[in-house]
Amino acid sequence: MGMRHKDENKSEAIFQATVQLLNEIGFSDISMSKIARRANVSSATIYVYFANKEDMLGKLYIKAKEKMGRQAVEGLLDSMSMQAVCERYMRNSMKFILDNPDYFMFLEQFATSPLMDKLCLEDIALLFAPLHELMEKGKRQGELKPLATLLLLAYCYLPVAQLAKAHFKGQLEATEELLQQIIRMSWDAVRA
Amino acid sequence: MGMRHKDENKSEAIFQATVQLLNEIGFSDISMSKIARRANVSSATIYVYFANKEDMLGKLYIKAKEKMGRQAVEGLLDSMSMQAVCERYMRNSMKFILDNPDYFMFLEQFATSPLMDKLCLEDIALLFAPLHELMEKGKRQGELKPLATLLLLAYCYLPVAQLAKAHFKGQLEATEELLQQIIRMSWDAVRA
Amino acid sequence: MGMRHKDENKSEAIFQATVQLLNEIGFSDISMSKIARRANVSSATIYVYFANKEDMLGKLYIKAKEKMGRQAVEGLLDSMSMQAVCERYMRNSMKFILDNPDYFMFLEQFATSPLMDKLCLEDIALLFAPLHELMEKGKRQGELKPLATLLLLAYCYLPVAQLAKAHFKGQLEATEELLQQIIRMSWDAVRA
Amino acid sequence: MGMRHKDENKSEAIFQATVQLLNEIGFSDISMSKIARRANVSSATIYVYFANKEDMLGKLYIKAKEKMGRQAVEGLLDSMSMQAVCERYMRNSMKFILDNPDYFMFLEQFATSPLMDKLCLEDIALLFAPLHELMEKGKRQGELKPLATLLLLAYCYLPVAQLAKAHFKGQLEATEELLQQIIRMSWDAVRA
DNA sequence: AATGAATGAGGATTCATTCAT
DNA sequence: TATGAATGAATCCTCATTCAT
């Protein structure tokens, strides 16, 4: 008789249910029992996988952020020009967001909440390390403005997020043309 | 036919308590009773001023957003160059944020929540109308890139917000020098 | 400067609102504030006319019961035969009920509640005294069965109430013919 | 894949507590927390068994009504004379009421409340079906007056209820003699 | 007389979590 | 592992009532 394994599907179902509900009703109204109902498990089952609510939300954030991070830095090569790096990073980000709107909206909500402060984000920082190093190199080589990388990346990421949000709200459409325009603008902002 | 007059301080105390708590413990953990305790009123008193929790948060958002909006567009003149307009708008925004960190963090949290969708923001749109018109003129006159104003403004506002958040987290300091740098970058992004 | 009088309309409006609400939402859900809202007065105004909720409900019961009682015994004469007395009492009762369904339903609800036990009903007993005396005389003269008047009257009143309730529920129609039939049945029950 | 089993005693304790309290303090004053306290369970436990207060009261009503109905029609046989049927029905009813005064008073209170209208009473109608059929037969065979069964039964049941209520209030005693008298009167009323 | 403001107490219900199986 | 039952604490909100005018 083999040992019993945690059912990976169950933990995944719990994650999915949480992300969905967060987007539907928001942080202030989700509850463990609503999540359990949506995931088709018992409330008690959630505690098989997570210590408590905060633990669950934190792990979900990290999971989502990692997924996003992995896609965001995909295909970034040392051999690329800085302009190509920025473009690739922006296109990667936009693709992830349009493919995973629920994850994105969840990340946005969570990122502004005080729960963020209790999280250990070292692993995520590692994920973005290659991008950071590229930017540092770009600054050293005089291709980028000599500014905190945090801000350089903000000029690349935030317009993408803003365009996506406007897209989801129906205010404008995230066309390839618009994407090209903001890629150009961001580059104008960060280039030396 | 006398009556007791509404104590303007009470409604203000409720707002203040809410903003403080939102920043301390976040959307998911504020409750009407915690707010009441912090504001030194009875829970029931809150319902003299607001229909329910959602109504209260919504009105608080509008109040805060209006306060911010009014400051953000202050001093914007038709006679200004577009570069001056952008700079003024960014400086105004940064000043408001640094002067009212609680309001700012509350606005950030609320803006990402589903509660946003239920709000009527017409009055706020009016506040920003002068800025929008200036941007439209700038586009017509070829000073700005011909792009949705929503995105042009994003390039001005979001870096300011990002810098402020990093400042509050202690990641870097919001110096005049840094502010000048992002003003320059934003202008590079939006100029024609 | 004349002295100020209590506004009789106000107290009447409060009564009306209470009776209506009792029928719409029932004993367990009425509240002073709902009554006030329905009556278009302030909650505090109710306390100008009544000591508290219990006092108000009690006074309303007595008022309604008196109104019903006065109509129920109307036209009862010493000279009438017992059969005529019973018929008149039943017809009077039916007319009151059909004319004042709200009052009737309120009386029914209140009568089964423990609040009844705290009421002083002497004045109402006085109202019904003539009817009781007639029944006593009928028993002495051998026209009625020698039974507690309470029960004799039950055989006259309860079928009327039952028919009315069935009528209000749409189960059957309170026609003159049906009324005649139960008048006949009740008389068969109580006659010696 | 085990679980804790529902404790049948719990749901019964909740019912008992509700019936008791309804009689002591009435519809307008019972609350879920008072019921829970009386039943020695947590308020939250009630919601394990019932969807909400209305659901609980409704189910309790049906339970009580069924219990009464089952006893009321006990021993009614096709072979009986109509007079025997009426007598048996009245005696059955009186016995139930005297044995279960709390249930009876609860039924009386609930029956006059607007909550009644939301109930599905089909199962209860089934219980009384045999009695209804007997009465129909009685009418066809000319033993009973040709009148809506609803009213015929009213003449049998209501005097019993009235006598019981007077008995509980101490106004008169529900002796075998008195019972015999109203059985006679009701028969006089309904016989052809 | 009349009333809007104010409130402590309590309303129904849901919460996150634990227990027993 | 998985879960229905169970619960004390907390939720939002309304209650009956009083106060100040």
Mean model confidence pLDDT for chain C? 94
Q: What is the pLDDT of residues A121-130, one digit of tens each?
A: 999 999 999 9
Residue A45 has pLDDT above 90, yes or no: yes
Mean local confidence (pLDDT), A98-112: 95
Q: What is the distance in angstroms measured between the alpha-carbon CA of A36 and the sugar C1' of E15?
A: 13
Residue C113 has pLDDT above 70, yes or no: yes
A20, A28, A53: best to mutate for the B interface, most B CBs within 10 A:
A28
Mean local confidence (pLDDT), C45-55: 96
Which of A82, A90, A99 lies closest to A146 in space, CA to CA? A82
Mean local confidence (pLDDT), D140-169: 97
Mean local confidence (pLDDT), C119-128: 92
Output the pLDDT for position C8: 75
Output the pLDDT for position C6: 64
Output the pLDDT for position B1: 38
SS3 content of chain B, % helix, strand, coil (to 5): 75, 0, 25
Residue of chain B minimizing CA distance to A155: B159
Protein CB footprint (7 Å) on chain E nucleotides: 1-21
Q: What is the pLDDT of residues A165-192, one digit of tens each?
A: 999 999 999 999 999 999 999 999 999 9
Q: What is the pTM of this model?
A: 0.92
How far is residue D164's CA from residue D171's CA, in Å, rounded to a whole number?
10
Output the pLDDT for position D9: 85
For A149, B74, C65, the CA distances from C154, given in Å and listed in that order, are 92, 82, 16
Output the pLDDT for position D46: 98
Which of A133, A145, A121, A149 lies closest to A65 in space, CA to CA? A121
User: Which residues, including other chains, have CB under 8 Å from residue D38's CB and lie 6 or more apart?
Assistant: D17, D20, D21
Q: Which nucleotide is nearest to D42 (CA to C1')?
A: F7
A–B interface: beta-carbon pairs under 8 A: 109
CB A12 within 8 A of CB B11: no
Which of C108, A93, C162 lies closest to D149 in space, CA to CA? C162
Residue A93 in tokens: 């980000």
Distance from CA of B27 to the nearest CA of A (A): 6
Q: What is the pLDDT of residues B38-63, one digit of tens each?
A: 999 999 999 999 999 999 999 999 99
pLDDT bin (cut points 50, 70, 90) of residue A38 is: very high
Protein CB footprint (7 Å) on chain F nucleotides: 1-21
B positions 6-25 inside 8 Å of A (CB)? 23-25
Q: Which nucleotide is nearest to C5 (CA to C1')?
A: E1
Residue A46 has pLDDT above 80, yes or no: yes
pLDDT bin (cut points 50, 70, 90) of residue B8 is: confident
Q: What is the DSSP letter of B51?
A: S
Phi, psi of D191 (to 5 degrees): -60, 150
Phi, psi of B191 (to 5 degrees): -65, 155
Name the residue facing B113 among A26, A155, A162 (closest C-beta).
Answer: A26
Q: What is the distance in angstroms measured between the alpha-carbon CA of C46 and the sugar C1' of E3?
A: 10
Q: What is the pLDDT of residues D170-180, one digit of tens each?
A: 999 999 999 99
Whether residues B113 and A28 touch (CB distance < 8 A) is answered with: yes
Using the C1' atom of nucleotide F11, identify the protein residue whose alpha carbon is closest. B31
pLDDT bin (cut points 50, 70, 90) of residue A8 is: confident
Q: Which nucleotide is nearest to D32 (CA to C1')?
A: E12
Mean local confidence (pLDDT), C126-145: 96
Residue A1 has pLDDT above 50, yes or no: no
Question: B32 CB near a chain A CB, below 8 Å?
Answer: no
Question: A181 CB near a chain B CB, below 8 Å?
Answer: yes
- The vertex-B55 CA angle with B52 and B57, nearest 5°, equals 110
CB D92 within 8 A of CB D73: yes
Residue B20 has pLDDT above 70, yes or no: yes
DSSP string, A131-182: HHHHHHHHHHTTSB-SS-HHHHHHHHHHHHHHHHHHHHHTSS---HHHHHHH
Residue D24 in tokens: 């002591």
Question: B109 CB near a chain A CB, below 8 Å?
Answer: yes
Output the pLDDT for position B4: 61
Q: What is the distance in angstroms measured between the alpha-carbon CA of B2 and the sugar C1' of F20?
A: 8
Residue D63 CB-half CA count within 13 A: 15
Residue D2 has pLDDT above 90, yes or no: no
Whether residues D185 and C185 touch (CB distance < 8 A) is answered with: no
Residue A47 in tokens: 């505690």
Pick the residue with more confidence: A9 or C152?
A: C152
Residue D168 has pLDDT above 60, yes or no: yes
Q: What is the CA radius of gyration of chain D?
A: 19
Output the pLDDT for position B9: 85
Whether residues D114 and C24 touch (CB distance < 8 A) is answered with: yes
Output the pLDDT for position D4: 61
pLDDT bin (cut points 50, 70, 90) of residue A64 is: very high
Residue C104 in tokens: 């009737």
Output the pLDDT for position B3: 52
CB B65 within 8 A of CB B107: yes
